[in-house]
Every structure is written in C-alpha cells, then in structure tokens.
Chain A
Amino acid sequence: MIIIITPDEFKRVSEAAREDGRAPDEIRPLKIEAGILERADGSSYLELGGNKILVAVYGPREAQIKRLQRPDRAVIRCRYNMAPFSVEERKRPGPDRRSVEISKITAEALRPALILEKFPRSVIDVFIEVLEAEGGTRCAGITAASVALADAGMPMKDMVVACAAGKVNGRIVLDLSEEEDKRGEADIPVAILPRNKEITLLQSDGNLTQEEFEEALDLAIKGCLKINKIQKEALKRKYGE
C-alpha cells in the first residue's frame, strides 16, 4: 500500500558523519502518500525516519460553533494529537499543553497558503495524528497536512513545507533526530511557502549566535525545498501529471 521513494540525492557522503551516519545537510528517509483514508475529504500519510504521521482534512464545512464563523472567509482549525503508543512511555490520551501549542502554530503555518475567502462562514479541520514519534513531528505534521489539504482539493497559493535545523555538538545540522534533539544545543523548526521562500513558522529552542542562526535557517530552507519535491511527487502519483 505504501510506496517507498529512495531519496538518492540526499545520500551525499560526508567525512564527518552524524550518529545515524547522515551528512550534516541530509534528511532522514522520507516517504509521503496522498489520499489513503475513505471518510476524510483529504488525507496523507508520512514517514520520516521513525516518525509515522497520518493527517485527515475535513471541509470546508459549516462551522458548528457560531463564534468561530467569519462572515468573509473560512477558518482553519488544527488538532495535533499523539497516539498513546507513539512514544517510549505511554502517553495519556488527550491534549496536553505541548500539543495545544503545536496545534495553534500549525494552523498559523498553513494559513498563508490557503485561499479561505472562497468559503465564508465555514471551517476547515486538519487532524494530525502522530502514530509514532522520533523527533521533528511538528514539521512532519505540517508537511503532511499540506499534502492532505491539496488532496482535499483546497484552493492553495502554494504548498507549505517544514523542516528543522539545529546545532548538535557545535555543528549546524538538518532534520534533527530524537537523539540529536535531546542532546543538541538548539533546534529551529521552520515552515516555508516554497515558491517565494516566505517563512510561515519559526521557533527556536536553544542558544545560537546570529551567524549560527543564519546558517541554520538557510539549511532548514534548503531542507524544505528538498522535501517539497517529495510532496509534489506524492500528489502526482495520486493524481497524475
């Protein structure tokens, strides 16, 4: 059911390999599939290293909650949720503070790509389920959500694609694994609109000089552009050229 794409272009060998053997500017193996759920209006499945993420999109549909409605446009709502079995120690079901924050910034990261003015008074729901987590789930969630939104036929100005860069052992690296995130000095998740490289999500957690930040941001954007190709391939496989 799931087609594996081998991202050969990422397999550049570096003299100073990372713990999992990757070059500093190499992302983990990535595969994306569009349109895999029956009931949802749009859906996608993404694997990035050990991350497994499922996204469903419903809408535009009538906003059941009146105060959510906007007379001139649709609103986008996101729910980022981790399965209890997605992490080493079982996670209690239901939202915690971390997932509420991620839900909020995910909606804001996706918003600039969507043409919401076409659907006044309605709501677009994006449900992100982390089935298995191995570092970088918020970025993977945004990347997958964008594919699911396209699969749902939402009018969009561009895709949204996300990737993190960070500092591990004094070195700027791309797409931190769970281990690297735990031991690393800094982590910067970035989401962009690939066409004009505008940034729709930016967080930073850890200490960096301005030069290091610039290097990390540039690297994250490079990673996003690579991932964007795989996003587009997933949609082409589903819908043809």
Chain B
Amino acid sequence: MVNKMDIVPEIIRENIINLINKKERADGRALDEFREIFIETGVIRKAEGSARVKLGNTQLIVGIKPQIGEPFPDTPGTGIIITNSELLPMASPTFEPGPPDERSIELSRVVDRCIRESNMLNLEKLCLVEGSSVWLLFIDLHIIDYDGNLFDAAVLATVAALRDTKLPTAKIEEEEIILDYDNPQPLPLEDTALMCTFAKIGDQMILDPSLDEEEILTARLSIGMRSDGTICAMQKGGEGPLTKEDILKAINITKEKIPQLIEELDKNIPQTR
C-alpha cells in the first residue's frame, strides 16, 4: 500500500519531544518563531496576480485569474472567489497525482475561509451588474515543495497574490460590459488577515511546525486573524485533543505574530489603496 505519511524514525521523534520539553527545537528556533520567510510577487506574467512564497523549505506559487460570470442567486450583488489547491506530486514523495485529496481540499477551504470571513476583500465591489455579471476570482495554489506548515505559507502567498492582482477597469454602457485593459485597477482590499499554525507536541504549542514536527504532532491548530486582532478562521486538526489553555495560548501568540507577518508582507508588497 501507498504510505501516506512520512515516517519519522523513533530516535528523531524522541529527540524532538525531549527538546520541546526543554523549550528548544531541532532547528534552533524558539517555540514561537517562524522559519525564514521569502515573498516574491508578479512571478507569472500571464496571471493577473501571482506570488511565490517560501516558508523555510516549504514553497508554493499562487496565481489569480479573473473571469466574468453570473453571481450566486442568493448573493446577486457580490463577486465570487474560488480557491483551489494542488498538492503536486513534485512537492513530496507522499503526494500522488490525481484529483485533489482530502488534505488538498482542507487546505483550499481553510485558505478560502480566512480570506472570505476576514472581509479583507470587498466582494460587493466586484459586482458589475447586479444579478447578472460579477467578477469571479480563481485563486490557484500550486504547492511545489512541501516541508511542513502549508496553511500559513498558503495564506501568506494568497494575500500577497491578491495585493499583486490588477483587474481591467469595467465600464457598463448600454448593458454591455466594456473592459479597459489599459487602466488596470488593484483589488478592493480593505484589511489584511493572515494565519498562524501551531502543533501540539508534548505539552507545548509550537508555531510553524516543520515537516518532522508535523509528523509527530498530536494536534494542530490554525488561527486566521485580521490586523485588529479579530479571529476570522480556525481549524483544528490531528488525532489528539487540545485543552482550552492550549487554544488561548495559541491565540495570544497569534496576536503577537500577525503584525510581524503583515510587516514582512508590506516590505515585499505594500497594500495599494
């Protein structure tokens, strides 16, 4: 049978747990420290917005392609975002070709929730003609190197790609939509939300788990947070339980980290208003 997990040798497992109990990590990071972050935008010219992000050795490319389409009947006045991710077989020996599996679908849905529920993107401004024409934004996440913690890297790359995105200006004349490609406009972004993911190992909640740490965690918690500290999305994963204290501790660390992440993002691609 195909092995869906990377196997961590017992000696490494014990080493990681012993270190974490002493509040240390195998790669020398503090328990609440991200790996090195690299952000590059505008990497795909044929996409209206794009970004490549590296979080340690985890690497992905996000491309954004717009289309004009019909709104959902229950939200006639709002644009639509569609988030899709591909855990490419090139990214890990444990990823296989084929339609998105449950891990891939969970990733897209969590990223989608963080973007959508934060209201960072004003979807009402993506409506062209109420009830008939709105912008559809396809957000495609292409995972090319998997070394742990896809969630935070994926949200960071998606937000960077959204900031990079420019849509043609749309004018409505006699019920015709005229697209002006010479005057592209940035997206109506009104806030920034990002994500922090924690792994519970031993009794500790550690930020940004590496691949080895991810394989031995008992529980995982991802927290999406807006710039003002409001929580906009959460996802618990893993087979073990979390205590209320674990969760509150993770929220407090997230509050501290989100402004630092936003600063990192601003350095690479400032938000245009």
Contact = CB atoms under 8 A, between A and B. Distances in A.
Interface of A: 37-40, 43, 50, 52, 54-56, 58, 61, 64, 79, 81, 83-90, 93-94, 125, 127, 129, 131-134
Interface stretch (B8-16, B45-53, B236-244): B45-53
B140 to A, nearest CB: 4
A94 B84 CA distance: 12
A48 to B, nearest CB: 14
Contacts of A94: 99
Interface stretch (B60-68, B71-79, B124-132, B253-261): B60-68
B146 A39 contact: yes
A166 B57 CA distance: 41
Given A37-B145, A79-B97, A132-B44, A90 B90 contact: no
B118 interface: no
Contacts of A43: 90
Interface string B36-59: 000000011111001000000101
- A40, A56, A90 — which one has the most chain B CB atoms within 10 A of its CB? A90
A52 B63 CA distance: 13
Interface residues of B, number: 32
Given A84-B138, A90-B65, A129 B144 contact: yes
Given A83-B61, A84-B63, A85-B65, A93 B89 contact: no
A-side interface mostly: loop
B93 A132 contact: no
Given A83-B142, A85-B47, A85-B64, A93 B84 contact: yes
A228 to B, nearest CB: 24
Given A39-B92, A84-B138, A85-B140, A133 B46 contact: yes
B88 A127 contact: yes
B237 to A, nearest CB: 21
Given A86-B44, A90-B138, A93-B84, A127 B90 contact: yes
Contact of A38 (B44, B50, B57, B63): B57
A106 to B, nearest CB: 14
Contacts of A50: 45-46
15 contacts: A38-B57, A39-B57, A43-B90, A50-B46, A56-B91, A61-B93, A83-B44, A84-B84, A85-B138, A85-B142, A86-B44, A90-B67, A125-B89, A131-B142, A132-B44
B32 interface: no
A132 B142 contact: no
Nearest to A148: B90
A129 B63 CA distance: 14
Given A40-B90, A61-B93, A127-B89, A85 B46 contact: yes
A86 B91 CA distance: 18
Nearest to A41: B93
Contacts of A90: 65, 67, 138, 140
B147 interface: yes
A86 B46 contact: yes
A209 to B, nearest CB: 35
Given A84-B138, A85-B65, A93-B140, A132 B46 contact: yes
B57, B59, B145 interface centre (most CB from chain A within 10 Å)? B145
